[in-house]
Structures are given as structure tokens and as C-alpha cells.
Structure 1
Amino acid sequence: MQPNESRFKQLQAVIFDWSGTLVDFGSLAPTQIFVDAFASFDIPLSLEQARGPMGLSKKAHIRQLLAQPEIGAQWQIRFGRAWEEADVSALYERFMPMQIEKVGDYCAPIEGAADVLALLHGAGVKVGGCTGYPREVLDVLLPLAAAQGLEADHVVAGDELAAGGRPGPWMALANVLALRIGRVSACIKVDDTVPGIEEGRNAGMWSVGLSVSGNEVGLSASAWQALDASRQTGLRAAAEKRLYGAGAHFVIDTVADLPGVLAEIDRRLAIGERP
């Protein structure tokens, strides 16, 4: 496709999450670091517990974990008192250097991601991004991703808006402002988490969920491929149910399946449909 040729007549922007959406199949990096950060305070955390609030900004994620009765009770036993806001900050300060150190180990593009971004760039559709990662982590991740063909026109970090993060619309709308998009209804939000889908809906965008590559299944690509077909079907169905329940207009396995959805949304926009 030539750079000035557009196969999309209506779409103006697609705004992507990162971990579990464009990179890090299974959204493994933030999950494991939450486990490690809590373990450093002698609080055991399962991977399933760590995944629960995924999609929120990292400090909000920690707060949600501590608010869970089982984890809060462990904190009470370990420290002889209920957790406080200062403990959220202490865990966050422990989490951050761990995440910065390890994010490069989990930056491999999800299959098809670079091709989809190239398609959008070539069609003149703006590519935005937003994430629960703080800016310090993005400053490490984005150059590594760019070297592998993943470049966005603008990316908003989870800690840089005073209004807050997901499931509010602010990061998605900050992309709209930065990219000078004329119609929010001509934008698509692509995400693998429930708060990320809610973010897109709250912003007035089309929302596309990713069931297999991200947080809802939570397996590496090799672990997913090693499952038998019946187990894959069950995990996929459960993930789809949660994402559709959050308001997703479409749910697909991975970003590699996105081009067909882009064409369908472009068609619906052309006949006057809105998200």
C-alpha cells in the first residue's frame, strides 16, 4: 500500500494498550512484578490475584490489591495493623525499579502487531497508545518496541494525567487531543483488560477486546499453543464473556485479527453507525 492510499474512509485513529495487546503475549511482565514486589514485604500473592485489577494505573492497582480482604488480612498479620496509603506508596516505590529492570525482557511484539501498525500508518490512520505503565517504564519500553517495528504517533502513560487513569476516559481522550482527531466516534480503543475496554466506552469510542493474548487468559504464546483445543475453547469463551460484559463491541484473539474488524467498523461508520 502506498503511504497516501487509504483503505479506510472513516477511521481516524486507533488507540492501543501495550502489554498483552502489542507486546508481551500473556501480559506477564506487570503480573510477575506485582508478585515480586509484594513478596519483598513478605506478603504472598498468586499470579491470579495479581492479575485481578490489571489495566489500572500501577499505584491504583496496588491499592486495589491491598483492598482485597484476603490480602488486607495478610498485611494485618504481618505488620500488626491495617494497610495505609503510605504502604501503597512504599509498595509502588519497590515495584518501580523492578518493573524498569524487567520490562525489556517482556517487550517482544505479539505476532502480527507490527503488520497492523504498518497498515494503519500506510492508510493515514493515526496510531495512539495508552497504558497502565508509568512514564519511567515507557521510556524504556518504547525505544525497544520501535526497534521491532512498533511505533505510535502518541502514547500516554498511566501516571501523567491529573484526572487519573482507567476506567476513566482521560488517557484515550488525551490521545484524541494530541493527535488532533476530529471525531471521537471515528476512533477505536484496543485493549486486553476490562478497565481498558471501559476506558474506550467511556471515551465514546469503539472498543475491541483481545481475549487470548492478554490478561484475561494470562498465558505465554507457547503455553497457550501447548493447550488442547477444548481447553483453549474454554479459556477463550471465559475471556470473551468478561470483555463483552465490559462493553466491547468486538472481541478477537489477538491484534493479528484486527484488520477485519477495522474494515467492519469503517463500513458501519460509513452508513451512520456510532459506538
Structure 2
Amino acid sequence: MTLLIADDVTQRYANSSFDGALGGAVLRSVTLALEPGESVALVGASGAGKSTLGRVLLGLEAPSSGSVRFRDNDIAALRGADYRAYRRAVQVVFQDSMSAVNPRHDVARIIAEPLRHLSTLAKAARRQRINTLLAQVGLGPEVANKLPGQLSGGQLQRVCIARALAVEPALLVLDEAVSNLDLVMQIQILELLAGLRQRLNMAMLFITHDLRLIRRLCERVVVMHEGEIVEDCPAATLRFNHPAARRLQEAILPARPNALGEGNRVSRG
């Protein structure tokens, strides 16, 4: 059974600034299916519609037309226990970790938030779960008592990942979740996520504009352009036909310019 699907989704905003190329629509008849355990990169230039699609899949926005179905059930019709099951199953990590947490709450309280609302764990069991989650994301138990301002950007993003994992989701949506970090930290976080995904058999949707990173985490790449999906291919090949997808590929910077400063080639040394 398909885990989550956006089916023929169009999204329009009143008084939108997208009235040019998109014809007033930020998303235009988008269909995207995510299977259990699958890892998909959703890429595109700024304004392509990828973050809007992510918000629609998360139920943070209702589409203007079309539907989002979770395990064959329209999320707009979910109520009570069924809605809670969907909220547990689909979690998100956003780009700006500092704005995603309450700066006055310590790490333990931040991670405990979904446990309080979406689980039946007692207080002692929640504390034990928090320590387990911190260990899963490579942080020690002493971090639990720290405030967000006492952590580095990479540490705080790991806290946000731990919070998202707290209720054992079936799908983790990562909306530009590493773009605020330097390249070394990006690679560390992606390797952490790849390991967690395999151990937990969890699906992931990695929303990004950076094609350099996707092979470390994803099996499949979906490219958006002007509110539409224009490519869908294996991450191992990255063979694109659409001009917009090719432009993204051509814009990838080399990992290390050669000694002559010719930045258009990757050194083989």
C-alpha cells in the first residue's frame, strides 16, 4: 500500500505574486507517491513549488484542488484516532532549527513535546525515550538539560531530528533541513539520517535545491519546475531530459577546484 500520495494537487493563493509563469498556481496538477521505506529527493530552484508541496503533504495547507491520501485515506477527512495516527506517522524537520524550537525550553522538553501529545507514555518512560533518542542522533544525555542557545547549529538540528523521530514516524519530511549548515556538517547529518532510515525502515522526503547531497540519502529524484514535476529518475543515474533539471545539474559546483583555479572541473588528484 502506498504510504502517502499527492493526487492531482493544485495550489493557488489569493493575491499571490505567482501570477506570471505559473498562471496564478504555485502547484499545478502534481501527483507524487511515496512508498513505505522509500527515500525521495524533491529538488528544484527557488520558487519551483517544492516546499509548498511539502506543506500540503504534511497537512499544513489544504490544496485548492486534488487530494492527499495517507494509506488510501484522504487526510482532509481524517478525524480523531485516525488523524492522530497520521500526525504520528508523518513528521518534519525544517531548515531553521532555532525558529523551530522554543528558546526558553530545554532540550528534554523540546523532544518530549510530540510524546506528550501523540503518545501514551508516562513521564518516566518519556524521559527514558528522550535519552534513547539523543543517543540515536549522536548526542549525550547531558544535552537534555541545555537550552537551544547553548548548542551549535548542528547539535540543535540533531535535536530537531530527535523530536521528529520521537513518535516513530513512517515518513520524515526534511525541508531544506541541512542547508543552513556547512558542508562537513551537512554530510554528517545526512550520514546520520541514512543510518537511521535503514535501522528504522522509515521513508524520507528530502526537499532541497542542492543535487550534490542527494546520493548520500536518496534512491529517487523528483525535479519540480514552475509548479510541476518535470523529472522522476533514480538518484544513481541523474539522467535528466528537461532543460530546468539540466540547469540544476550544470550548476553543481566542484567539490575541490584544481590548483589552477579552474572551477569548472573537479580535480582528479
Same-fold call, TM cutoff 0.5: no
Larger radius of gyration: 2
TM-score norm. by structure 1 comes to 0.28
TM-score norm. by structure 2 comes to 0.28
Question: Of Structure 1 and Structure 2, which has the larger fraction of its residues in helix?
Answer: 1
